[in-house]
């Protein structure tokens, strides 16, 4: 999430809304967001109900949920999905920003 914070304004400039879902309960999620001064929206999903809809993988041998990034366009259509195979398997911001530029044309 620190990666997203670094380029937050670039996402905003592209009319993107960042929504981060996590497995924690609401209180833990709120504390984490406040402690790390995260400027985007956080949605606690302790029962994984939303995350299951998007097919996010859970791998107990790798300490839980694998990263997943989804870009949804203004009409509500998922236009890009990346399912990570490890916690470090996350697209670079520049890749996501380029995709947003393409979608905004």
State the Cα–Cα distance between residues 59 and 65, nearest whole angstrom: 6
pTM above 0.75, yes or no: yes
State the CB neighbour count (10 A cutoff) for residue 50: 13
Q: Which CATH superfamily is domain 2-100 in?
A: Glutaredoxin (3.40.30.10)
Model pLDDT for residues 12-33, shown as the tens digit of each residue = 999 999 988 887 889 988 998 8
C-alpha dihedral sign at 65, 7, 34, 21? negative
Coil, strand or helix: which one is 5? helix
Give the residue extent of every domain in the chain.
2-100
Q: 77 and 86 in contact (C-beta within 8 Å)?
A: no
Model pLDDT for residues 71-101, shown as the tens digit of each residue = 888 888 888 888 888 778 889 999 999 999 9
């Amino acid at each position: 999430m620190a990666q997203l914070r670094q380029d937050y304004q670039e996402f905003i400039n592209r009319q993107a809304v960042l929504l981060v879902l996590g497995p924690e309960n609401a209180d833990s999620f709120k504390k984490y967001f406040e402690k790390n001064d995260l400027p985007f929206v956080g949605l606690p999903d302790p029962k994984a109900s939303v995350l299951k809809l998007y097919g996010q993988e859970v791998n107990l041998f790798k300490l839980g949920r694998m990263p997943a990034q989804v870009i949804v366009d203004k009409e509500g259509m998922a236009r890009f999905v990346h399912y990570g195979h490890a916690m470090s398997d996350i697209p670079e911001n520049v890749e996501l920003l380029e995709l947003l530029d393409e979608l905004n044309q």
